Chains A and B, each alone.
Chain A
Amino acid sequence: MTSAAGDPLQGTGSGASGRTDRRGQDELEMQTTGAASSGHRPWQRALVVVLALVAVVHAAVLALWVSPSGPVRDAVGDRALAAWVNPYFAQQWSALVPNAQFADESFMVRAQVRDGAGGAITMSDWMDVTAVETDALRHDIDPARVHVAARRIATNLNGAMFGLNPRQRELVAASYTKEPIERLGDRLYSAGTDRQAAVRSYVTYDTMATRFASMYARARLDGTILKVQYRVGRRTVPAGADRPADALHDRDFRWFAFGFRRGFTASYEAQTAFERHAGA
């Protein structure tokens, strides 16, 4: 134990009365600065007040950011809050308890593969990526982070799809094998002028999912990956009032299948890292 902890410090240790109990180390510190500890000069006092005000404003902005929308929050505006909060201080209220989580989400991948040069072209079975993750999470107190990846893809794709209109969703489900994925974005933009941000977000996630699916398929299957397809499934937890008669695991997933996407070729290093993780 250090000498600091060994001292039997009585009292609260805060406020002026606590100072009589301070240990030698602190006294030494006080001596070096001498007069500053008692009466401050006016500019010093002013600086302390300014720093405190800055902290108060910062704290108020953060508090508004996490609070539900209301008159005060609306008056300040999302944009003004985000300008200060993003990206470093961004946080979600749901981070505390994942109470927004009331569904199982699933991500499956399949691919069209050519066996060798000029060989036969076959379609693989659906590969359940989230099932592998779920197994890895079970009975593990502190699981590795990668096991959230596939489920997050499913969540993000699902969320992005909610922003699209029915015509855009049809386009998403159709096949675009011959075109790079950016072209899908162009088509989505022209199918609805009111949802630009949603389309941008969707294309981002679709691009990412295509890369993941291609790398995953290549790690698991032999041959050349010509095109990939993925689907996301969702099943919602039955109402708490119906427990335990109606259990989640007895329910079926509802699937949404996306169109075929041209296989993405990752760098050698990236694919190697992927194979170590996902290789069959």
Chain B
Amino acid sequence: MIERAVGWLSQEKHSTYGLAVTRMILGLVVASQLVVNWDDRHYTWGDGAEWTAPVRDATSWPSFLGLFGRLDGRAFDALYLLTIVFGVLLMVGYRTRATAIVTLFLWMSLYVANPFVGSGGDAVLRMVLLYLCFTDAGLRWSVDARQRAERGEIRPYVPTWASATLHNLATILIIHQVVMVYVGSAFWKLQSERWMDGTAVYYPLQTDAYSPWHDWLQPLYANGLVIGGATYLAIVVQLFFPVLLIHRPTRLIALVLITGMHLGIGLFMGILYFSLVMIAVDMILVSDSSWLRIAAAVRARGRRPVPQPPSRV
């Protein structure tokens, strides 16, 4: 059995298409987040964030991540733009591994400059991005892959068995991370009265912070059936997520439900960024053969071959 496991880990890189999709979405998330916050960049992470120093300094991040905190004015803007560029490079998969490492460094430097405006999405993103550096996320649907197809393979620095092992272990850790968040959160919910009586989803949908559409959708939020259904469905999907993954048909159901749940909370609770990060990770769970079928279907529908499948979900 150990022999089989070692073989599975070290002979072949798994989930390569799913990781490509994860890579694209994460790159998009990094770039688009910075674009969205462009007008407020100095206030959020630059000089204007000076007031958060007492809280920032209470957490012990290594000092090499303090780059954004040390720069101001044009230098800050240049680094900010550079981070956007690297987000895009990650999305298209150019020199993917080096790009992933630099993107991680820049993104973390930005995060550390003001953790006070961070969110749950940042926590997942920084962990997944770290694991992604160990994977071969540029193997498919990337600029790297095109160049390899044209120029041929360059002799790798790291032997294939070691590279495959790191790739597969990192992939497992990413999947573990997301499954653990689901199951852990379901365990917590089961201990909460509000979740057990089917009203939990109602509360955030009443608040200013997590209900941007409150004024339009209040009739929906006041409906007990809608609230109860959403509450119980969230628990059931999260709790049984790993079990549903085992068989192909139930895996499809699990992915459709969980993606729907993320889109739901992302749009209705105004935390789309967090939802996109979670959806990006879930995409690894779609098998390579399914991705190829999807790609073939997209290609058949298109008038002419497109260089890359759309990176949106």
Contacts and interface: CB of A to CB of B under 8 A. Distances in A.
B259 to A, nearest CB: 14
B54 A208 contact: yes
Interface string B275-308: 0001000000001110010011001000001110
> Interface residue tally of chain B, by bracket?
35 or more
Nearest to B189: A99
A90 B59 CA distance: 11
B117 A5 contact: no
* Residue among A130, A137, A267 with most chain B CB within 10 A: A137
A14 B278 CA distance: 24
Given A9-B289, A87-B59, A144 B51 contact: no
Contacts of B234: 97
A18 interface: yes
Contacts of A8: 292, 296
B272 interface: yes
Nearest to B160: A33
B176 interface: yes
A149 B116 CA distance: 7
Interface stretch (A52-60, A118-126, A163-171, A172-180): A52-60
Interface stretch (B32-40, B77-85, B95-103, B249-257): B32-40
A121 B181 CA distance: 54
A96 interface: yes
A25 interface: yes
Interface string A232-274: 0000010111011001100000000000000010110110111
* Residue among A3, A99, A140, A277 with most chain B CB within 10 A: A99
A91 B128 CA distance: 12
A270 B48 contact: yes
Interface string A177-189: 0000000000000
A75 interface: no
Given A5-B141, A204-B58, 16 more contacts: A9-B288, A25-B145, A25-B153, A48-B10, A52-B9, A59-B172, A93-B181, A98-B209, A137-B209, A138-B212, A146-B43, A204-B55, A211-B50, A240-B197, A269-B47, A276-B42
Interface in B1-60: 2, 5-12, 14, 32, 36-37, 39-40, 42-44, 46-48, 50-55, 58-60
B47 A273 contact: yes
A76 interface: no
B267 interface: yes
A16 B73 CA distance: 56
A102 B124 CA distance: 23
A1 B295 contact: yes
Interface of A: 1-16, 18-19, 25, 28-30, 32-33, 36-37, 40, 44-45, 47-49, 51-52, 55, 58-59, 62-63, 66-68, 86-99, 101-105, 130, 134, 137-146, 148-149, 151-152, 156, 204-205, 207-208, 211-212, 215, 237, 239-241, 243-244, 247-248, 264, 266-267, 269-270, 272-274, 276-277
Give 6 closest A-B pairs by Cβ, nearest first.
A95-B120, A240-B199, A273-B48, A66-B184, A211-B51, A102-B203
A124 B46 CA distance: 29
A88 B131 CA distance: 12
Contact of A29 (B10, B156, B222): B156
22 contacts: A5-B295, A5-B299, A32-B153, A36-B160, A40-B10, A40-B161, A44-B10, A88-B127, A134-B208, A145-B40, A145-B119, A148-B119, A204-B58, A208-B52, A237-B202, A237-B203, A240-B227, A243-B202, A243-B224, A247-B206, A267-B50, A276-B42
Nearest to A133: B208
Given A98-B210, A144-B36, A1 B305 contact: yes
B5 A52 contact: yes
Describe A's contact surface by its main secondary structure.
Answer: helix
A66 B51 contact: no
A276 B51 contact: no
B6 A137 contact: no
A166 B135 CA distance: 53
A179 to B, nearest CB: 17
A4 B269 CA distance: 39
B264 to A, nearest CB: 10
B180 interface: yes
Given A18-B12, A91-B123, A4 B54 contact: no
A15 B51 contact: no
Contacts of B54: 204-205, 207-208, 211
B289 A11 contact: yes
B149 interface: yes
B207 to A, nearest CB: 5
A227 to B, nearest CB: 17
A205 B73 CA distance: 27
A215 B43 CA distance: 11
Contacts of B148: 25
Given A48-B165, A104-B207, A137 B212 contact: yes
A98 to B, nearest CB: 5
Contacts of A98: 204, 209-210, 269, 271
B232 interface: no
Contacts of B43: 146, 273-274, 276-277
B187 interface: yes
